[in-house]
Amino acid sequence: MTCSLASIRVLGEFFQVQAPMNPYYHRACFLKSAARLSQAPADIGIEVAFAGRSNAGKSSALNTLCRQKALARTSKTPGRTQLLNFFELDGQRRLVDLPGYGYAKVAEKVKRQWQGALADYLEHRKCLRGLVLLMDIRHPLMDFDLQMLEWNIHYGLPTHILLTKADKLKRGAAANTLLQLRKAFEERPEITAQLFSSLKQQGIDEAHQVLDSWFDLGLEEKKMASPPKGERQ
């Protein structure tokens, strides 16, 4: 049996030893929630937003990347993220948890309000540097995901896809899903993708590297942002 170099590289991601998590993101703290863009923090600095279907594991991914159990609220009932939730990393950098889409069992009027806040943020937020789009690896590229990607392409917004719950598939199947997704967007360098599992702590360092580049983080900034030894977990 022969394998392409791309297939070997993707499969190899399962066997890489994860580098230590970047402690810079461990100090993320809740800043505020906003029902509409006018209630958001001042449009300055740099923001990276997280979006995805309501059952894609968005809150769990945020908690995992920031090494906190309850930074973003998780729930057994998808669709609990109803507001724009802002988390501060430092005075100029923020993570944003956007309302989940496409699943929540709520009144249609309420759902339209969520979607309106989401669209308004993505279209008008000047400090938005990039979007992390989460998809359940077993159900990638659903209609809402494609709509989000089309919007991002139209506005030139860099997008990094996290194929979440990668532990739910066997290694070969997960690697093949990632390979096919990368092929679908190989002519779109602004769209990248990786495997991710909050349960298995998989893909954290790779995701941190993307965030580092969007936040313009240098080594000195990350060192200065690291908590004192006595505060490290």
Higher per-residue confidence, 225 vs 199: 199
The predicted pLDDT at position 19 comes to 46
The predicted pLDDT at position 87 comes to 97
The predicted pLDDT at position 220 comes to 57
Label residue 229 exposed, middle or buried (CB < 10 Å: 0-12, 13-18, 19+): exposed
Torsion angle in degrees (nearest 10) through CA of 125, 127, 130, 136: -50
Whole-angstrom distance, CA of residue 9 vs CA of residue 7 = 5
The predicted pLDDT at position 186 comes to 95
Residue 37 clears pLDDT 90, i.e. is over it: yes
Kindly report, residue by residue over 88-141, the tens digit of the pLDDT.
999 999 999 998 876 555 556 556 666 778 888 999 999 999 999 999 999 999
The predicted pLDDT at position 185 comes to 96
Q: Is 201 left (phi over 0), alpha (psi -120 to 50) or beta?
A: left
Q: Where residue 2 falls among pLDDT bands split at 50, 70, 90?
A: very low
Residue 89 is inside which H or E element, if any? strand 84-90
Residue 36 clears pLDDT 80, i.e. is over it: yes
Higher per-residue confidence, 5 vs 23: 23
Q: Which residues contact 69 (CB under 8 A, 6 or more apart)?
A: 63
Give the architecture (CATH level 2) of 21-227. 3-Layer(aba) Sandwich (3.40)
Kindly report, residue by residue over 140-165, the tens digit of the pLDDT.
999 889 989 998 998 899 999 999 99
The predicted pLDDT at position 118 comes to 83
Q: What percentage of the chain's residues is helix, strand, coil (to nearest 5)?
A: 40, 20, 40
